[in-house]
Amino acid sequence: MIHACKTASARRITAVIPCYPYARQDKKDKSRAPISARLIANMLQTAGANHIITMDLHASQIQGFFNVPCDNLYAEPSVLRWIRENMNVEDCVIVSPDAGGAKRATSIADRLNASFALIHKERPRPNVVGRMVLIGEVRDKVAILVDDMSDTCGTLAKAAALLQANQAREVCSFRQCRRFDKMLTRCRSLP
């Protein structure tokens, strides 16, 4: 579509991409691994995009892959407003399902003045969750899982089961799911 606009003599093209492709491949984790997020940035610019607007990037460093302005918008204000309007914040605990999301979850917990918990997760291979350990207290609380991105929702399902096993009263989840175009999803019962 960007190329079509460019060949139609568009003066300026802004690409709005709520779910940035290959956002998880933003750095080398082993020798000769591709940095596909950079490739997507190059392709968007080569096609003719003059400005990129995206949402909740997996890593903010992706903005540095662009030679054109790139704005990363955040869903956090909407999440905070929804929680304040629909839940009793004193009964809530914000939970990060992995160490990588701890910064995002603590930011939400701090703004809500709510408690925080973290789940340590081990992955034997990509998209497979091994052992999970809860760090923090969730007993008799509404546990709100805050995840940045979900492929199969396996982490969320196992995290919800772990929270229920630790006697959380209820489990809700806010995440960006790559298979659906919903930025915020509330889950009452996870398998």
Q: For residue range 146-168, list pLDDT tens digits in order.
A: 887 766 777 788 888 899 999 99
Q: What residue type is assigned to position 184 of the chain? A: L
Token output for 14:
């802004």
pTM (predicted TM-score): 0.74
Same domain, 64 and 82: no
What mean pLDDT, rounded, does the chain reach?
84
Same domain, 88 and 49: no
Same domain, 66 and 18: yes
Among 73, 97, 114, give the residue marking a domain's end.
73
* Residue 150, in any domain of the structure: yes
SS3 37: helix
Q: For residue range 47-88, list pLDDT tens digits in order.
A: 999 999 998 887 888 999 999 999 999 888 888 998 999 889
Q: Check which CATH number belongs to the domain holding 95 and give it.
A: 3.40.50.2020
Domain that holds residue 159: 76-174
Task: Provide the number of structural domains found in the chain.
Answer: 2
Interatomic CA distance for residues 135 and 128, integer angstroms: 21
Quote the pLDDT of residue 148: 74
Contact 144, 156 (CB under 8 A): no
